[in-house]
Amino acid sequence: MPLTKQIQQPMVVFNVGWMKHYQGLSNKEDVITGKAKFIDEKKWGYEIYNFLPFEGKVYGFVQPSGHGKDYLERQIRIENIDSKVQATSEYIDDVLVVWVAPYPQGGTYLVGWYEHARIYRHYQETSSIKRHYENQILGYFATANEIDAVCLHEADRITDELKLQRANSAKEDNKGGLGHSFVWFARIDESRPYNLKFREKILAFISKYKQKNQHYIEKQFLHEISQSSPNEREKRLKKASKQAKRIQVVTTQFQRNPDVVAEVLMRAKGYCELCKKVAPFMRASNGEPYLEVHHKIPLADGGDDSVENAIALCPNCHRYSHYSL
């Protein structure tokens, strides 16, 4: 059966250290663990900011294969991602980056992905103040639009569906899989049947995630609106029906801990914890100040449902936290 264009799309797998959020180590609840010597010795790694948005972009680091102590002088052989790329090219665009990591209790699992990413051959410097740690500037090899980046909640990663096969554990009739390198090209090869199965499995999971995850759908919707000009919207509105279409949507919702909500509201004492103003009105149901409990790191992005990760906000500040620049 002929392979689809989607299955054959440029794809690369980056094996990095394990974290909950990949948004830095300032949050004491997040640490990094992994098999890289650098992480083992330093207790941090250049990938700690792989899913930290900055001006609409994310920037990801992986330690390329190679010899020598200076990891940053190594390069990613991007011609192995797509044979059309020349060995002299500095970058390749429109790549699906699959981020995986070794779970501390065993096994290597999918942790997230970048779609439509640019992968550089050489390490890229950055001046972003958000990407400093231990008096060092942390650069990157991959970048993508924030809208195209997904970091899975830690609990959602640990499933058989998202576990990777290691090449050294492959059976004779299912050869392939992630080797010792931190960069795996998962090339389609008849001698490595697992590689094709892996591609099919990952693409199917991403498709299912997009269909079911309301948070992702909302981000895409807002992004599409921002890309339209007033003239384009005017043309569409003239042709559009005034009756909204009915569709069935399957969503994934989080069952929030009511004790966290209660504790955060009690801590706020009727005042918004961002603007410090008194709650705008009283709830009709119980006469208590109306505030909304917001997760600083969203649950959909792997944030904890904890008192430390939650804040009580007035409706205006809650909208501000979600949609402001």
The DSSP annotation for 13-68 comes to EEE--B-SS-S-S-STT---B-S-HHHHHHS--GGGGTT--BTTEEEE----S-SS
Report whether 280 contacts 315 (CB < 8 A): yes
Residue 209 sits in the same domain as residue 262: no
In this structure, are 46 and 117 located in the same domain? yes
- Same domain membership, residue 300 and residue 172: no
Distance CA 52, CA 54 (A): 7
Nearest-angstrom CA–CA distance, 24 and 37: 19
Same domain for 166 and 23, yes or no, is: yes
Domain boundary among 216, 241, 272: 216
**pLDDT-wise least confident of 28-32, 118-122, 165-169, 180-184:** 165-169
Domain that holds residue 286: 258-323
Q: Using the 8-state DSSP alphabet, how is residue 181 labeled?
A: S
Q: Same domain for 77 and 27?
A: yes
Integer Cα distance of 111 and 93 in angstroms: 22
Query: Which residue in 59, 12, 51, 44 sits closest to 136, CA to CA?
Result: 44
250 lies in some domain: no
The CATH number assigned to the domain holding 268 equals 3.40.1800
**41 and 101 part of one domain:** yes
Positive or negative, the Cα torsion across 8, 216, 132, 303?
negative
Percent of the chain with pLDDT over 90: 43
Task: Name which of 51-60, 212-221, 259-268, 315-324 the model is least confident about.
Answer: 212-221
pLDDT band at 219 (very low <50, low <70, confident <90, very high): low
Torsion of CA 173, 175, 177, 180, to 10 degrees: 140
5-44 pLDDT per residue, tens: 778 889 999 999 999 999 998 766 789 998 788 888 888 9
Residues 142 and 194 in one domain: yes
* Token pair in block for residue 242: 């005034």
What's the token pair of residue 106?
Answer: 């065993």
At 54-65, the pLDDT tens digits run: 888 999 999 998
Note whether residue 238 is domain-resident: no
Residue 249 has pLDDT above 50, yes or no: no
Closest CA to 283 of 323, 317, 315, 319: 315
| Same domain (yes/no): 182, 271 | no
Within this chain, do residues 30 and 172 fall inside the same structural domain, yes or no? yes
Q: Are residues 16 and 91 in the same domain?
A: yes
What mean pLDDT is predicted for residues 166-190?
A: 76
Instruction: Tell me: do 90 and 159 sit in the same domain.
Output: yes
What mean pLDDT is predicted for residues 256-277? 94
- pLDDT, position 224: 64
Residue 249 placed within a domain: no
Contact 128, 54 (CB under 8 A): yes
Residue 102 domain flag: yes
Residues contacting 197, CB < 8 A, separation 6+? 174, 176
Final residue before a domain boundary, out of 216, 247, 270: 216
Domain count, the chain: 2
DSSP SS3 for 233: helix
In a shared domain, residues 24 and 169: yes
